[in-house]
A and B are shown apart, each in its own frame.
Chain A
């Protein structure tokens, strides 16, 4: 161990010999986890704006009752594509990008365990999304059946482009599974000596659990779209009642994938927030072990709650009761997490740099999303909430100020390590406050219009829903355009930010801050770092 930790006298020259190649081939052929992480993050940002433009088109149409901008068939394509792009193109690749950048550095590994597969799992994505977006220009239009693509609307009654959509989903699934395998292999095999499992930073832990969820459920998604393909082209009747099939079977399979998918989009966010809050509270994370157990419990429970998305399909009473109770149980480990974050802040020494502001907003607004989730778990009440804007408000609260805020927080937090330069704090705070106001203005009124009875996925609505829809649309434009500040801040940081020290955040304790300079060298940890003994977490 001592000898291993000795710095290699050739390490520096070695590193500079193998710096990045020049030109486009650097990105095409790269097996470097940092380059691949950067590509994932930039891809995600592009998709975030693509899906965002669709969201703004939706909100523009819903600004007033009546049909003004979009015809219903195009409106349906926008809601479908917005959902698919944000879930599979923005949130998931962003987390994989963060894992690529941070997991090797946080566990003291030189790179990901399977670098060439890493290259492949990224480069599949641009092709998958090009194929999916191209459907919008095909005869009959793109997918118009909602991101949940319930059969038979997505099979017998679908536009011909649905076949391209199915292949795009297959490609995304392959990419996700390969990414997950890589992350598991890295965490289990490439930890530096002394980096025991219970010393892993929580971001690494949450990603390990997320990766197992991905491996478990992405094949289920692949299975269900393959069954659709068979129904459409090869005369089977999996989901066609006229042929002896079962439309509800589709929903069971879809949500067996779909509910763990929800946690795939939030567990890494829990990890990010569990890194940022201790750093800016200058205090160790409260209840590290219980955080790990709570995350595992949530992952387990995510497999036995899927039918709470289906309370109105006519499940037998016993089924409704089971899924209601199991869903309510999720509140317990989720509550543990929120309590732990607050206990971490309690009696700390807090400062409020941009990453911390986003992390605190995450805790507050995610908790509000959790509350509406608890309300939705109550099956009789869900009969009133189901498929209304109350549900839209709920899942946007956990995904926008939840997952997206955590990704933004992570970006500000690690930007100095990635670029070696500081971002502009004033712009960061402005970005935060505009986003915070915008997100609440957009999604809080949706609770009210949902309770008042407005169904989701409609291009036009009755007059009593008009006022809050207008408020939500104004909020959406504020939120959407505020994100340009994020891009501006990143560009300015890369171009002319002031140089960042190795550890710009004095409360940070993880390896990327304590053992590496800023920016992190192209090849880091060619020799394993020395892990301080004793209770590091």
Chain B
């Protein structure tokens, strides 16, 4: 029985990675030198365990097979053997020492964050990631982009179900990238298996990690620390670009910013704001306040018939922009552009039977932000 376990485990692990990714059994090798070193440690300790298992379960299986009363076995009278007991204390110690040395070596490398080409701050929010490039003026949020219909089984699930985002983290290939990790609310953990980077993002702390991906590619991961309701819905996507493509991408971010400013300045119709607002609401607000605005009783307040929305428009803008301290309501001033904020607030004031009828323009948002900055 036990031998069977070991043999089946052996067969399973030894099997080559099949065409069907779904039945994979082993840790992937990953895409960086560190992830490969980790994989090697994993396999080393695995084979040590297999060898010990064969020895231990072998003796046990043999005893079960041979030394059973039904086969006429008579119990022998021995119950200690000092030499044997010393041997099976000392030998495992030596094996462990052999294991500890390479493990410590890899750990030292993983802790060496010196000489990075660029630094990116990663901030965990309930339930999204924010990426801030410290050397370049780039700062954006990354949200799950899988539509709710797929999660609720109302639409067919696509290939990267739950592992896709609206804006991936973009880093250059062949350069050492340092990450500084922190969080805005609760503890999160930023994990991309192919890079062998998993580090907790903790409010009030700044943790460090690094990676160096030799080749361009797309890598997916997830938050690994329980962070509330939508912990299972805050994936990570890292897009590694060649150096030239990366520089082009950085330049594009500047022009995107200019376009954003232009959008804030131009005139918006109510239909435009409502259409854009609905999309933004579903992506940024529906996780708590729900798609139909009813919230979750005693946890997340309803927006349908909300007293805030019934009150002055300035108060509504204030809550969305700067959040509510001591509650899960985040400050969205940094997360969305003025045009986007205007759209989502307009949507909230006029959806699900809320009939304020007014529309909020990007200029009002900018004014509120300026006023807050002046204080």
Contacts and interface: CB of A to CB of B under 8 A. Distances in A.
Q: State yes or no: do A and B come from one complex.
A: yes
Interface string B269-298: 000000000000000000000000000111
B33 interface: no
Given A371-B53, A381-B38, A384-B193, A145 B5 contact: no
Nearest to A373: B49
Given A150-B187, A247-B204, A467-B23, A384 B196 contact: yes
A381 B56 contact: no
A381 B45 contact: yes
Contact of B75 (A313, A348, A468): A348
B42 interface: yes
Contact of A335 (B2, B88, B126, B186): B88
B73 A66 contact: no
A374 B49 contact: yes
A526 to B, nearest CB: 33
A273 to B, nearest CB: 13
Interface in A108-167: 139-141, 144-146, 150, 152-153, 156-157, 159-160
A350 B63 CA distance: 9
B2 A364 contact: yes
B26 A324 contact: no
A78 interface: no
Given A159-B299, A384-B38, A350 B196 contact: no
A332 B56 contact: no
A72 B75 contact: no
Which secondary structure dominates chain B's binding surface? mixed
Contact of A153 (B68, B226, B230): B226
A455 interface: yes
A80 to B, nearest CB: 9
A283 B152 contact: no
A66 B146 CA distance: 11
Given A314-B205, A349-B68, A380-B38, A363 B60 contact: yes
Given A152-B186, A346-B63, A351-B70, A384 B198 contact: yes
Nearest to B186: A153
A140 B23 CA distance: 39
Contacts of A72: 229-233
A282 B46 contact: no
A463 B60 contact: no
A339 interface: yes
A400 to B, nearest CB: 15
B22 A466 contact: yes
B319 interface: no
Given A66-B153, A281-B75, A364-B5, A314 B199 contact: yes
Interface string A450-469: 01110111111111111110
A384 B57 contact: no
Interface stretch (A51-59, A92-100, A200-208, A284-292): A284-292
A65 interface: yes
A284 to B, nearest CB: 4
B193 A453 contact: yes
Nearest to A351: B69
A391 B159 CA distance: 26
B202 A339 contact: no
Contacts of B68: 349-352
Nearest to B199: A312
A169 interface: no
B222 to A, nearest CB: 5
A328 interface: yes
B95 to A, nearest CB: 9
Interface stretch (B105-113, B169-177, B338-346, B351-359): B105-113
Interface in B15-35: 21-28
A242 B326 CA distance: 10
16 contacts: A65-B157, A72-B232, A139-B298, A150-B226, A153-B228, A313-B202, A332-B92, A342-B59, A347-B67, A348-B75, A381-B41, A381-B103, A387-B189, A451-B25, A453-B221, A457-B226
Interface of A: 65-68, 72-73, 76, 139-141, 144-146, 150, 152-153, 156-157, 159-160, 241-242, 245-248, 281-290, 312-314, 317, 320-321, 324-325, 328-329, 331-332, 335-336, 338-339, 342-352, 360, 363-364, 367-368, 371, 374-375, 378-381, 383-384, 386-388, 440, 448, 451-453, 455-468
